[in-house]
Structure formats: C-alpha cells, structure tokens
Structure 1
Amino acid sequence: MLTTSTTRVLEPADLDAALAVLDRDPVANAFVAARVRVAGLDPWRLGGEMWGWYAGGRLESLCYAGANLVLICAGPAAVRAFAERARRAGRRCSSIVGPADATALLWSLLEPGWGPAREVRRNQPLMVTRTLPEHIAPDPRVRRVRREEMDVVMPACVAMFTEEVGISPLAGDGGLLYQARVAELVTTGRAFARIDDGRVVFKAEIGAVTQHACQIQGVWVAPEHRGRGLSETGMAAVLHYALRDAAPIASLYVNDFNTAARAAYRRVGFTETGSFMSVLF
C-alpha cells in the first residue's frame, strides 16, 4: 500500500482506477479518455505511458506522456511530481496540452530545461454545447467524407494543420502518421466536409469520442470562402452528427486570439466553460 504521495507508470491492471480519474471531468479529458478506452494502458497500444500520482495510496491524478504531454485532474503537488519525472526523462513530446492553470505551472517547472518553446498559447477557451443550434440551419452539403475522397480532403487537412500549428504535418516522416490519422477518422465516419466541384469548402472532424462527450477538431473553411458564415452552418451540420451519433456533449477548444471563430461557435450555441493551454515545440 502506498501511504505517501508518489508517481509511477500505470499498468493494465490500473485501468479501472485510471478511468475513474478521467471520468471526473469527462469533457476536458475526452481526448485522453477516448484513447484509454480503446487502447487500455499498455504503452505500445496507447502510444505513450500513463503516469499516475498517488496520495495516501489512492490514484488522484494522471499524466499522459506520448506525442503530447497531457495533465489530467492534477493539482499543484501532482504537477510538481509529474514535472520532476518529465524532467528526468527528457523531452519526448511535440507539445504540452492541458487545463491552463496546471499546464502553466508544469511549463514553469520544465521551461528551464526544456525551453525555449516554439510557441506558447496560454489561453485556449474550452467551449461546450449540449444542444443543437436553434437559429442556424445546418449546411445540407456537409456530410461524412467517403473513403475514396482521401485525396480530396487531405490537402485541406494539411492546410488546416499548417495554419493552426505553424508547421506542416508532412515534415519529418513525410506525413505518414498524419495521413494514417486522417484515414482513421475517415474510415470511422468521423470526418465531415462540404466538397464543391472536387474541392473542400468546409471541413471538421470528431476527433475523440467517449460515452460522455466528444471533441470536435480541425474546423477549417477554405480561405476564398471565409466571411460567408460557412463555419456556422458547417458546424451546425457537424453538431447534428456529433450529438445524434457520438455523445451527449460536444466540445472544442480554440485560440483566444481567434475572435471570429469564438464568435461563430457562440452563435452556434457553444459556451466557454474553461481554458486550455498549449506549449508547442
């Protein structure tokens, strides 16, 4: 029995306890929870380790250490413990993402050894809705992307990622991992787009799904079509799929400086319920 606070790498036998922690905040934790429910806690299947912080023998907090470093239900003591483990292990992730306050503390502890970051986004509002929009009709041309349309949708996905993150997803491995992820979303019916004359006008994906919540990502309107309200009608259409087929709550997070997107999401019915922070390397 663990009687003091400590951290360790979780094992498959710890799955129920880990899920109990994730379920404390099912909206904010949707991304990690979705991965854990599919892959369990085996690092090879999960794509990284799951660290657990125990206090008085009870699992209280988690930290997913994979391509992203993600804090889950972590108070200051847990953050400091995870920071020490991460510092000893060295940086292996391409970003740190999580609730803003905890992530800010984590980065303040890691920055002396891991910095400088390529970019720090300290306030990314977490937005949530449980209802379909009342006053915005969904775009009837937004639909699920078909498997044979991968070549059509991929350029839009690359453009969105590059615009959002600041680097191309095709760098490094030539885009193999990114293409595989897009293909997974298309194959599972979680990629949506309006395609006019063989070109993507609007797109979005449901990137994570649990029984409690889903997370919408990759929202993008072709530059020549911006300013016409397509993000609102497109999002209204995606919400019909998300709330009907995926989960009772839909969420997303957005950069605070993207005032146009935040306003569009509010008009569709999203409300801001929290804040994330991202550190990009």
Structure 2
Amino acid sequence: MPVISKKGLIYTVKSGDTLYAIASRFGSAVDAIERANHLYPPVTDRGLIFPDDVLAIPTSTSNPIISHIVTNGDTLMAIAQTFNTYVDLLAGVNNISNPNLISVGQSLVVPAFTYRIVSGDTLYSIARRFGVSVAEIEEANADRPGFQRDVIWPDYHLIIPIPTSRNIFVTRPLPDSSFNSGDKVEGYARVFEAVVTFQLRDRNGVVVSNERFAMTDKGAPAYGFFSSTVPFDRQPTSSSGELWVYSRSAKDGSIQDLVKIKVNF
C-alpha cells in the first residue's frame, strides 16, 4: 500500500517563491515536489507555480503525520475545517495556549497523512480504503495544482485526513495498515484522569484484543501523548477489523470520544 512513510508538509506558495527555494527551505528536492504535485503538462508547464498554490512537500523525516505551514490569512478554525477536526484538538496537540494567535511560517501537526496514487485508483476507492469521505479528501486537497475529482494522476501525493474525535487523535496505526499482535497504538488524548482506552475487533464483531487502557503523559485539560502495545487475545475471524480508541464516562462508564481506525490482519 503506497502510504508515504516520510513526513509531508503542506505549504502555500508566496510571491517570489521558486521550487528551488522551497525545496532548500524544507530539505526536499525540486523533482520530488514536481512529482508529488504533478507539476507537468497538462496541469501546468513543468515546475511552474503560482502564489496561493498549495503544495505537498515531501521530506526525509521518518514520520508519516503531516504538518501544515501557516500562511497569511490562516486561522486555526479554517485549518481544522480543512482536516475535518477540532480547533481545541489542534491547539492542544501543538501546545498553542491562545487559539486565536498563530504565526505565519509556524509548523502545525494536523491529522492527515500522504498517499501516493497508483494506476487504477479512484477517489471513491481511496476514500473507502481509509474510512473517510470523498468530500473530506477534496477539502484537504483544495487549491492544490493537479487535483481534480474526475482526473487523478499516478504518483500524485494525495492528502488523506485521519478520523479524530474532539479529544482523541490516533497517530499510529494509520488507517488501513497491517496490524499484528504486539503492534502499538499511539496518539494524543484529552481524557479524564489521563486514561485512554482501546480494544481491537474484527469485521465480524469478534473482540481480538480485549479492552485495555494506557496513560497519557498529561492529564486533562491538556492533550497528552499515549503509547501502548496491543496483544491479541484471540485470532481474528476476518481479514480486517477496527481498532477502537476511546474514553469511559466517569458518570456511567459509557464509551465517549470513540475513534475507529480500520486495520488489516
């Protein structure tokens, strides 16, 4: 599955920018940026960019979660809408004390990763694979050169939003990943008494890994990081399933802030 394992950046072109200057600034390469954004005919003359174009910038950093580079006019609310997430989650994960104050050039972690399109893909098939809607993919890729609903290009780097709740953002595993006994679940959570809960179910509803919990490194109201292994308590009865990550209500024990991540066995 051609998910990009290296970190991608989302950058909005400014007047005077060149691909060489952008590549040098972010530790990328001109040809890599051209391929990631299909800066070729019939989209554009090779390497031609314009102010306000939104580019996916490949880097060599080993982290698949995307960062958004703040540009003029950005607000945390607008960025949250782009990735179908929440202002308070973005503020918490990025240690922003005042959500109304972000700076041009600031790098913000956002719930998204990059997928390299292969021959035969459609936006519909990609959306189904990763558990998001076509509309969410369109919103995350708005204003990017070469992005169209009806024509997608092999090798183009498509930005895929990661499902979140208001209080939970799972960074590992990525949607549609292969998952084995002992693999890790990681992410950020704002949860009561710093306890985040998880279980693994297969497509037939069989609980493959019983409910367990992990502790975040910060308690609410902060968003703390959590990491835990997920052992299998029984063998899956199907080839795919869902990792459930959530909290339990202190009042009645009900599931809250449920995030479901599709995985393959």
- TM-score category of the 2 structures, normalised to the smaller one: under 0.3
Higher helix share: 1
Q: TM-score, normalised by structure 2?
A: 0.28
Taking CA–CA contacts closer than 8 Å with sequence separation of 6 or more, which of the two structures ends up with the larger relative contact order?
1
